[in-house]
Structure 1
Amino acid sequence: MKSVSIVEDSEKDARRLKKYVERYAEELGEIVEIHLHWDGLDFLKSYKLDADLVFLDIEMPLFNGLEVSQKLREIDRDVNIVFVTNMAQYALKGYKVGALDYIVKPVSYFSVADCMRRAFLNAPRRAKKRILLNLSATETVSVAAEDILYVEKHTNTLTFHTTRGVWEMRGTMRDVEAELEGEWFSRCISGCLVNLRFVERTTKNSVFVGGEELPLARQRRKEFINDLMNCVGGR
């Protein structure tokens, strides 16, 4: 399955792009997940490093497409970017962020299809699952799931202990657990999610991760040990 994001403040232009993406996907026999965003800020806040291609309008309020692309490159160096514009000279500046191409409005089906063909041939190869930590309104960190040792929750604050350092952000353990599903994480207590690949040993009431001793709740011990055995066995 491929993923395409369309960042466009004009509903008419966005719907046209979406129709052409769907048409190409049908002709290719490929399942393509399409995400529509009406402004660059909404796109950046919700981006999960999962797109193969981003169609990015240049003339948008608040943040124009060039500004959005620069922020996008800070968190994803590999995603294919195609600028959509009324004036080609603006799009030429986009090559500074390694854009795949640009297309001029009104877009044609063949220009969209050609960009999709090249983007899918050059799809980002992300071997590692990554998540974004929104530390503040102005600071975001991208962390590989396999680099997270464990996550602790205190009131409304989540503390991420990683091989690269420790970061804090506001959030819920439920959201983090959903984000890390399938990445060999298990709760040792209600407020602590452990990367099973870093577990060194367990005792009746403790689990040791990265040289740290963490509590292991009696009611969670059976499920935690079972998850650990599955992780070690690669199941």
Structure 2
Amino acid sequence: MNHQIRVLVADDEPYSRKELIHLLSNHPSIEVIGEADSGEQAVVKCVQLQPDVVFLDIEMPGMNGIDTAKSIRELKKVPGIVFATAYPQFAVEAFRYEAVHYLLKPFEEEDIKETVSRIQKLLPEKRVVKKNTGKFAVESDGEIIYINPNDIIYVTREEKLSKIVIADSEYEVKMTLKDLESRFEQYPFFRIHKSFLVHLDYVQKLTPWFNGAYQLELKGRQEVLSVSRNYAKELRHQLEI
């Protein structure tokens, strides 16, 4: 059976809730099933909705996030907890409640991506499971070519088109890199730069460059790709055992 990770967002600030829900909506493996504007309401909705994960603000009137986490930990079905707050000083206490992650405001897309990755690793049974038997269709010289996504070495964005690179061919498509990243979410692709998406199975060598950036070599290709320092840490985390 296919599952999505069911998420409850609890924050007393409406804008923060909407922003977080919007960022989470970019990840097909996440389904936001509800929101709460107080700690008390978060506990009630945990009982009613049975979420897999709760994104929990700490500074809330009445029952704060730490007290809410204590109450949630006493429930029959205990969800994972991600603390989402503007206050880093609560991190040590927060992790006493086995938090999945500690997310700081203002939210950044890369931080959300890392958080979703952590959730997926800790809740593997809740990952969206699809049979990877489908093909990706591209048009070339008036013909429709069907590509196995696992044959794609990398994808790059060039002006208004994305270029899909396999061992012996290259194809151009109109889809954005973000759309392709979502389409290939069930395959081991990783964004190494705002303009590059690579298949991790083809990564052969990673060389430190400068200012925290890296250079990446891929099996079957001569070109060397640049890894932005913003993506380098998570890339190494994804590659290493």
Superposition TM-score, scaled by structure 1 size: 0.48
Larger radius of gyration: 1
Superposition TM-score, scaled by structure 2 size: 0.47
